[in-house]
């Protein structure tokens, strides 16, 4: 996991410089280095898919990051709630008026609220959007 974590850090550095193609390459390498078991590689690559307006790909990566984060030993990942919020907002962007996807978004936001604690404005505002 050390190699994957190092690659993600390099990707984050490139992301911060707005070198998105380089960041994407590092995240791809991190996924490969971890044999698909490092949630931050998927979560950060999903964020870049959002920038590229590739919502289906982003959702698939958020799904994988959430799946990895739910495994025993990963439950205390401090950023897991953010991945759930990102997945929820991606679903909302894709859903239009789809009630099933809106409910999945609310479910993600509820789980994020449990992980983060009460009163997180980002979660509450997105939950309000899901109910619109």
Q: Which of 3, 1, 27 is nearest to 13 (CA)?
A: 27
Q: Which of 121, 81, 120, 127 is nearest to 106 (CA)?
A: 127
Q: What's the pLDDT score for residue 108?
A: 93
pLDDT digits (tens, 9 = 90+) for 3-36: 999 999 999 999 999 999 999 999 999 999 999 9
Q: What's the pLDDT score for residue 79?
A: 83
Q: What's the pLDDT score for residue 97?
A: 52
Q: What's the pLDDT score for residue 95?
A: 72
Q: What's the pLDDT score for residue 73?
A: 65
The backbone torsions φ and ψ at residue 118, rounded to the nearest 5 degrees and listed phi first, read -70, 150
Q: What's the pLDDT score for residue 76?
A: 57
Task: Tell me how far apart the alpha carbons of residues 95 and 44 are, in angstroms, rounded to a whole number.
Answer: 22
Q: What's the pLDDT score for residue 109?
A: 92
> Which parts of the chain sit beneath pLDDT 50?
none
Q: What's the pLDDT score for residue 1?
A: 63
- Roughly what angle, to the nearest 10 degrees, separates helices 99-116 and 80-95? 160
Q: What's the pLDDT score for residue 115?
A: 87
Q: What's the pLDDT score for residue 71?
A: 76
């Amino acid at each position: 996991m050390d190699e994957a974590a190092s690659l993600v850090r390099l990707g984050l550095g490139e992301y911060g410089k707005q070198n998105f193609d380089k960041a994407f390459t590092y995240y791809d390498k991190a996924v490969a280095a971890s044999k698909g078991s490092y949630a931050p590689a998927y979560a950060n690559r999903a964020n870049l898919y959002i920038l590229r307006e590739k919502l289906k790909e982003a959702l698939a990566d958020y799904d994988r990051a959430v799946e990895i984060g739910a495994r025993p030993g990963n439950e205390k990942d401090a950023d897991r709630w953010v991945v759930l919020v990102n997945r929820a907002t991606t679903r909302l962007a894709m859903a239009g008026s789809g009630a099933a996807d809106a409910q999945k978004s609310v479910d993600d936001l509820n789980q994020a609220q449990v992980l983060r604690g009460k009163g997180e404005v980002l979660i509450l505002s997105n939950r309000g959007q899901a109910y619109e």
